[in-house]
Amino acid sequence: MRWDGSIVWGVGVGMVLVGCAGDDGGRGDSSATQASATDASASASASGSAGESEGSTSGGSASGASDSASAGTSAGTSASTSAGTSEGTSEGTSASSGDATSSSGGPVTSGDTTDPTDGSTGGDACMGTEGVFDFSYLWVANTSQGSISKIATATMLEEGRYIVDPNPGAASSSRTAVSLDGRFVVVANRGTGTITKVAANVDDCVDKNNDGVITTSQNKDDILPYGQDECVIWTTAVSPMPPAYVGGPRGLAWEAGTFNEQSCKYENPNVWVGWHTNNQIAYMGRFDGATGVQLDTVEIKDWSPSHAPYGAAMDGFGNLWFSGVFTGDIFRIDTATLELQRWYGGPTLQPYGNTVDVDGNFWLAGYGGPVSYFNPQDETFNPIEGTNGRHRGIAVDGKKRVWAATNVGGALYGCGLVQIDGATKTFVKFHTFPQCSTPVGVSVDAEGFIWVVDYAGWAWKINGDTLEMQQVLIAGDHYTYSDMTGGGLKGVIVPG
């Protein structure tokens, strides 16, 4: 047993059934820092660029500004609605290209999936049951509002919208990552230097005022002020704090957690996020999934991209993969030992979005070049012939098909979606949308549908077999991509 793949969908305002035709960024040393989350209201303020890679025109053309804005500063304090604080640090393991310290004082084993009885990952009685979603949602960052939308993939309805930072106007929320069981999402707020956890299921929400009722958003128009929605579990500021928007938290990924042989489920997962401090040092921090406490911090020296670690993904072997943007560097952290490794793929790599497939290949969507994959077995970078465009988000479905969003400005194609056969590593086709502005995020839901979120205010749900499409309107601007449904993580943990 290893780790499988599914993802989730968009909002039910306008739905159309049609047939398918035819911007932000490493080197490494590591030291651990520990922050405590408290039961207080975080305060954060920031001024700066509104968009990382933004554009908004309709009907098949797009104009977008790449995430190159550097104006603005941000400040914030760590806060958690969950009880519990963490104190103290202790030395951990030495990392290749750097040093890392674990708050637990040794190798971190929370991602270990080995069955102690027979050395396999999980027992036969659990085969095919681990991490299966009881419900499925697409979580879309509403960048200009400092909120995220919870969209049921089965009904295509927006069931809730949540303010995710004390200073929502400055938050510039972007990446969202969903836990393996689909119960929780964490969102990165680039402008204010915070990350926030939201519960999908009311049973996981917290009755903060002890009135016996969970007060939470019920639909897209029911938006509560920050601190009043009891499904917003915690908000934590990363430490050290990014001094500006470009260094704010971006790349984001959940660990699977620890496998419980009795329940046949992964439990107590933690979440990773990347940021930098404008001094050629970047950080990947591990945060306690339950409390928001910053547990471990891996320091990456000689960080050259202007932006923070841009995207992140967990593989099925307990490794966290991430990259900068527009550069040729990629990175891997062993989440058990905190060992950091780095490879350079050359100036044409230009990674933007990234993901990992079930075989452990690290896929990279080139912003000004091809879609590529890095094979960790022979440590080679492999461009896909026939792809050369302005790619953004990227995802792999359960049939090993690779899907990458593209924008106007690419060398071979414009606004749409690239399809690649991930088994044969060959280009299949470029698909257009009936309406296309600036598609950014790509994800795969629990039923295997492909989701593409457009910055300009909608998403497309796509049947990868028939290429039929449904459009879902989502109010606001959406600079959002990463594992928006949990399908990326599930795709490598519970192969099916």
Asked whether 401 and 494 are in contact (CB, 8 A), the reply is: no
What's the pLDDT tens digit per position in 126-174? Answer: 765 555 566 789 999 999 999 999 999 989 999 999 999 999 999 999 9
Mean pLDDT of the chain: 79
Host H or E run for residue 457: none
| Residue for token pair 């040092």 | 281
Q: Do the Cβ atoms of 344 and 331 come closer than 8 Å? A: no
Task: Report the phi/psi class of residue 172: left, alpha or beta, with left for phi > 0 and alpha for psi in -120 to 50.
Answer: left
**Other C-beta atoms within 10 Å of 87: how many?**
8
Query: What pLDDT band is residue 124 in, cutting at 50, 70 and 90?
Result: low
Q: What pLDDT is stored for residue 192 in this prediction? A: 98
Neighbours of 282 (CB within 10 A): 31
Residues 262-275 have pLDDT tens digits of: 988 899 999 999 99
Handedness of CA 97, 103, 106, 109 (dihedral sign): negative
Mean pLDDT of 315-322: 97
- Binning the chain into helix, strand and coil, the percentages to the nearest 5 are 5, 40, 55
Closest alpha carbon to 233 in 298, 305, 183, 302: 183
Stretch (H or E) spanning 490: helix 487-493
Q: Give the 3-state secondary structure of residue 180.
A: coil
Give the pLDDT confidence score for residue 12 in this predicted structure.
Answer: 30
Write the CATH number of the domain with boundaries 17-493: 2.130.10.10
